[in-house]
Amino acid sequence: AAPARLLDTAVFDLIAQEKTRQTHGLELIASENYVSEQVMAAQGSVLTNKYAEGLPGKRYYGGCEIVDQVEQLAIDRVKELFGVAWANVQPHSGAQANAAVMLACLQPGDKILGFDLSHGGHLTHGSPVNFSGKLYQPSFYGVEKETGLIDWSKIKDIARRERPKMIICGASAYSRDWNYAALREAADEVGALLLADISHPSALIAKGLLNSPFEHCHIVTTTTHKTLRGPRGGLIMLGKDFENPFGMKTPKGEIRQMSAVLDGAVFPGTQGGPLEHVIAAKAVAFGEALNDDFKTYTQQVARNAQVLASSFMGMGYDIISGGTDNHLMLIDLRSKGISGKLAENTLVRADITINKNMVPFDDKSPFVTSGIRIGSAAVTTRGLGETDMVRIVELIDETLTHHDNDTRIGQVRQRVNTWLQDYPLFA
Ligand code: PLP
């Protein structure tokens, strides 16, 4: 008997349970989504067996003729999707993409300027617990206490004072659009590179719903699995001045091409063999994103987020910055007298998943938090529209208001489960 034919029930029973969880519940985690059957099929394919260190046409292994075509397809599609001249589709994750960019562009000890983690930034933008804060010298900008908005002129002031080698924009929990032109002015004044990490809103940017970073930022990174609705992974692209921002030369006096430096920073700099099965799944997702119905999806994501935000505010919830331009929002629960941790734990009992999140100027620890983050991408993929968003807010409010009442929470869970039966997820 071939052991490989026996179903590993220990693992597959758990996968089945997770499928049930995803099917029964309302998914409001802003960084999550549901990929298509084709994305999953590509990722679960024989391509997982192949080693392919290098780039299409320049590999360190034989037998790469087919994966070369797969990877080239992913590159060509993503270039068309974002309108860029160069992309590397190999980073295993968003964090890996940012690590490769920093390895390519910075020396250990160089100064970087990023968005404060506790105001909505990401760990890889200079947090002391992350490589970016350990290897480089970070400083941070944040939002204004009164408005919850970034004051672009203040970033200029900080840049003048700190003189960073790199300014990083982009966030995990900022619901407003970015002024890339102002950031570029700040970067140019001090001779810094400008990196935009568009991991969260990348699908909305691809479809023209938000400002484009590509005119102003030298380098752009993104994850592929959030609003973009691909497999878990990362991606690096080059913006406007891409090939040689500062006239960089090699020791031999040759012009250094930024694309080549970035390619080298991904492999061999920070990674080994690329995950060609994941790259195939990225190619499928980019193909889906090139379709017109993906634009309809992104428009609905934005509309749904706006309805969520206005409905929450209508029920007395405090949304940081008073609304959203993208797919997410941060809710400060202090006026409701509950912590983010309690909200997360209570909502999960009603089969509603969100995540606790620090709010700007939070007085609670990251393990407790004063807020929660909510996003509209996954529920939009599921097929829910604006009137459904109003219902979601009512269900959340009911659950949080009765957080110590098991019966009420059980009733909400029942309503969620029954409702979602009309929105089947998997074939
Ligand atoms: N950058 C931003 C802005 C993010 O929000 C995230 C993920 O949360 C990442 C990078 C890291 O992505 P990954 O989890 O794929 O490493």
ipTM score of complex: 0.99
Span from the CA of 404 to the centroid of ligand 1 (angstroms): 34
Query: The tokens 């994850």 sit on which residue?
Result: 223
For residue 2, the model assigns a pLDDT of 52
d(CA 143, CA 139): 14
Closest-CA residue, ligand 1 atom 8, reads 172
| Structure confidence by residue, pLDDT tens digits, 320-348 | 999 999 999 999 999 999 999 999 999 99
Segment holding 231, helix H or strand E: none
User: Does residue 9 have an active-site annotation?
Assistant: no
Closest-CA residue, ligand 1 atom 12, reads 94
- Pocket probe for ligand 1: among 125, 199, 327, the residue whose CB has the most ligand atoms within 8 Å is 199
| Structure confidence by residue, pLDDT tens digits, 1-57 | 555 678 999 999 999 999 999 999 999 999 999 999 999 999 999 999 999 999 999
- Pocket probe for ligand 1: among 219, 223, 232, 330, the residue whose CB has the most ligand atoms within 8 Å is 223
Neighbours of 360 (CB within 10 A): 21
d(CA 42, CA 218): 32
Closest-CA residue, ligand 1 atom 11, reads 94
Biggest distance spanned by C-alpha atoms of the chain: 74
Span from the CA of 189 to the centroid of ligand 1 (angstroms): 28
For residue 250, the model assigns a pLDDT of 72
For residue 243, the model assigns a pLDDT of 72
User: Does residue 397 have an active-site annotation?
Assistant: no
Span from the CA of 105 to the centroid of ligand 1 (angstroms): 19
- Please say if the pLDDT value at position 256 is more than 90: no
Q: Which residues contact 345 (CB under 8 A, 6 or more apart)?
A: none
pLDDT band, very low/low/confident/very high, at 248 (cuts 50, 70, 90): confident
CA angle 147, 152, 157 (to 5 degrees): 115
| Structure confidence by residue, pLDDT tens digits, 85-133 | 999 999 999 999 999 999 999 999 999 999 999 999 999 999 999 999 9
d(CA 75, CA 84): 10
163 burial type by CB count under 10 A (0-12 exposed, 13-18 middle, 19+ buried): middle
For residue 16, the model assigns a pLDDT of 95
For residue 299, the model assigns a pLDDT of 98
For residue 255, the model assigns a pLDDT of 76
Ligand 1 pocket at CB < 6 A: 31, 93-95, 122, 124, 170-172, 197, 199-200, 223, 234
For residue 3, the model assigns a pLDDT of 56
Neighbours of 272 (CB within 10 A): 9
User: Does residue 223 have an active-site annotation?
Assistant: yes
* Residue numbers belonging to the annotated binding site for (6S)-5,6,7,8-tetrahydrofolate: 117, 121-123, 365-367
Span from the CA of 103 to the centroid of ligand 1 (angstroms): 17
Give yes or no for a contact between 329 and 148, defined as CB atoms under 8 angstroms apart. no
User: Does residue 317 have an active-site annotation?
Assistant: no
Please state the rounded mean pLDDT for residues 401-414: 98
**C-alpha neighbours within 13 Å on the C-beta side of residue 305:** 31
Span from the CA of 87 to the centroid of ligand 1 (angstroms): 18
Segment holding 26, helix H or strand E: strand 26-27
| Structure confidence by residue, pLDDT tens digits, 63-77 | 999 999 999 999 999
Check the CA dihedral 192-223-303-335 and report its sign.
negative
For residue 244, the model assigns a pLDDT of 75
Q: H helices within 290-359, ranges in order?
A: 292-314, 340-349
Cis peptide before 91 (omega within 30 of 0): no
| Structure confidence by residue, pLDDT tens digits, 195-204 | 999 999 999 9
Q: Do β-strands 58-59 and 54-55 pair in parallel, antiparallel, or remain unpaired?
A: antiparallel
Q: Which tokens in the block code for residue 71?
A: 């990877």
Give yes or no for a contact between 381 and 35, defined as CB atoms under 8 angstroms apart. no
d(CA 340, CA 317): 13
d(CA 343, CA 337): 10
Give yes or no for a contact between 304 and 385, defined as CB atoms under 8 angstroms apart. yes
What is residue 314's three-state secondary structure?
helix
- Pocket probe for ligand 1: among 172, 227, 358, the residue whose CB has the most ligand atoms within 8 Å is 172
Percent of the chain past pLDDT 90, that is, above it, reads 93
Q: How far is CA 37 from CA 8, 152, 239, 297, in A?
A: 22, 42, 32, 17
d(CA 52, CA 204): 32
pLDDT band, very low/low/confident/very high, at 254 (cuts 50, 70, 90): confident
For residue 4, the model assigns a pLDDT of 63
Closest-CA residue, ligand 1 atom 10, reads 94
Please state the rounded mean pLDDT for residues 343-366: 97
d(CA 197, CA 124): 10
Q: Which tokens in the block code for residue 103?
A: 């390895």
